[in-house]
Amino acid sequence: MKGKNEVSDEAARRRTFAVISHPDAGKSTITEALAVQAAAISSAGAVHGKGDRAGVTSDWMEMERSRGISITSSVLRFDYEGALLNLLDTPGHADFSEDTYRVLSAVDGAVMLLDSAKGLEAQTLKLFDVCKHGDVPILTFVNKWDRPGREPLELLDEIEQRIGLHAAPLNWPVGVAGDFRGLISRADGSFTKFVPQPNGKAALAVTMTSEQAAAELGDVWETAMEELTLLTEIGAELDHEAFTGGISTPVLFGAALPQFGVSALLDALKTYAPPPADRRTEAGGTRPVDAPFSGQVFKVQAGMDKAHRDSLAFIRVCSGKFERGMTLTMGSTGRGLVTKHAQTVFGRDRTTVDTAFPGDVIGLPNTHGLTVGESLFDGPSVTFPPIPAFAPEHFMVCRAKDVGRYKQFRRGIEQLDSEGAVQVLRSDIRGDQAPVLAAVGPLQFEVVAHRMEHEFNSPVVLTTIDFNECRVTDAESGAALAKMRGVEVFTRSLNGDLIALFQDKWRLRAIEREFPDLTIEQMLAAGQY
């Protein structure tokens, strides 16, 4: 039983979570601040905002560094006071919501980051819906309290009214947003004074007694005390069962850029975030955490290491103990997969990993045939629910600028397709030299063009195609649709689905009315979870 006890003990100390937010809420900054506070890195790269983000550990793609946005997901793993934290950073831009969806399928909890001035924004609301759909409990961190913003009680009310979560503050700000004086811990009443430092340095955290704080802060302190009394009266207390059940959210206040209040977030993650649990299977049962090894691919990424030009499959360990060199079975094909080159990832940096446990993320390089959603196992077979692709809303034809580089062109398109960076649609009419690329957001096409040129040495030409509605069909209905005006039928390379593109919604509706027996099925949309 030693093996099972080891797996259970190791799983119990792991916290695997993602950070979700609207663009510009400070997601990459809080990601790095967490790593700094846990002493995983010496200093954050985003100390001066977007104009000077060249060193952001979790943003490794060249486009991310130049634009100052996150457009891929990455993994940061670090120890904190006996807990092992696996932080999965996610793209902040809405055009890459598919990648975020995949990451959220691999975590046990999430940190919802709010801008103190803006509160709940559109992308945050969509990502909350993803978490709710996947039963992912949420901690909330109200960021940028050192800048002008809204009243804290107003923000709590917005959380309850707009997303239906009972807000339970773990700490409370003294001073309004933009005139930040410090934080009171509701657990023990201690006060930590906020002392900003020049030149982007981390703020000083000075511990004071309540008597000292009252004497120094006067009316500001009294206002905070009155607000705390009100919170107690209205029952804004944390119930752990309500949190894990998706009914309540612990709320913390702070400022990620000067790294103030971040240690309290780390403490909350260690204390309240759920450890890995038994994983649901496609058959409707569960795979116990202490069962033999199993995992699921949630991301495939190339271009992380220019020296090797390899691809890496990210695998969430769902059960059991992983040992480097073990041979795993692929659920879709039954083929064996040797894992002697298994790695652990920290941003773009990689090191060999010998063992891993539930909640961990391991990387397998150059594992051709592994795609997003693939189940891997040792011992009894298991298949986890597939990770769905979103309905694309933008379509472009892709061709190589230089026909002499067709081999590089084909290899690049196949790699981007396997990653899910873009959906590739093919047809006999257009041939492999002019596939149609389908994307949730137009920025995905920019990433494709950039990567095709710089990673695969095959610049491409992208041209628009006159379709804007997409549906799934079957072979019989697809054959009929292909003969109709304003319709074109493709095969989606990644999973073999037949995809019908329609000229516009009016043409689609006309065909649905005239031919009600045809199979024309709606796909999962980026805003529908």
What's the half-sphere exposure (Cβ side, CA atoms, 13 Å) at 266? 26
pLDDT of 65:
52
Do 251 and 169 form a contact (C-beta atoms < 8 A)?
yes
Domain range 280-377, CATH architecture: 3-Layer(aba) Sandwich (3.40)
Sheet holding 361-365, edge to edge: 336-338, 327-330, 375-377, 294-302, 311-319, 361-365, 343-346, 349-352
What's the half-sphere exposure (Cβ side, CA atoms, 13 Å) at 20? 35
For the whole prediction, is pTM greater than 0.75?
A: yes
At 53, is the pLDDT very low, low, confident or very high (cuts 50, 70, 90)?
very low
Mean pLDDT estimate for the chain:
87
As a whole number of angstroms, the distance between CA 474 and CA 478 comes to 6
As a whole number of angstroms, the distance between CA 237 and CA 167 comes to 8
Nearest to 173 by CA among 218, 125, 119, 227: 227
Pick the more confident residue, 503 or 526: 503
Give me the phi and psi of 14, to 5 degrees please: -95, 145
First to last CA, the chain: 40
CATH of 394-514, picked from 3.40.50.620, 2.40.30.10, 3.30.70.3280, 3.30.365.10, is 3.30.70.3280
179 is known to lie in a ligand binding site: no
Span 12-30, average pLDDT? 90
Pick the more confident residue, 20 or 249: 249
93 is known to lie in a ligand binding site: yes
Lookup: tokens for 495: 């999973």
Nearest to 95 by CA among 448, 409, 503, 424: 448
Q: Please determine, for residue 59, whether its predicted confidence score (pLDDT) is greater than 50.
A: no
Answer yes or no: same fold for 9-80+102-275 and 394-514: no
Domain parsing of the chain, residue ranges: 9-80+102-275, 280-377, 394-514
Domain range 9-80+102-275, CATH architecture: 3-Layer(aba) Sandwich (3.40)
The 3-state secondary structure of 234-278, one letter per residue: CCCCCCHHHHHCCCEEEEEECECCCCECHHHHHHHHHHHCCCCCC
pLDDT of 311:
78
Q: Summarize the chain as % helix, strand, coil (round to 5).
A: 30, 30, 45
Lookup: tokens for 24: 């510009």
90 is known to lie in a ligand binding site: yes
Give the tens place of pLDDT for each residue, 419-456. Answer: 888 899 999 888 889 999 998 888 889 889 998 998 88
As a whole number of angstroms, the distance between CA 481 and CA 519 comes to 10
Do 97 and 388 form a contact (C-beta atoms < 8 A)?
no
Q: Please determine, for residue 322, whether its predicted confidence score (pLDDT) is greater than 70.
A: yes
Q: Please determine, for residue 390, whether its predicted confidence score (pLDDT) is greater than 90.
A: no
pLDDT of 309:
61
Packing angle of the helix pair 152-163, 122-133 (nearest 10 deg): 50
Give the tens place of pLDDT for each residue, 367-387. Answer: 777 888 999 999 999 999 988
As a whole number of angstroms, the distance between CA 236 and CA 183 comes to 17
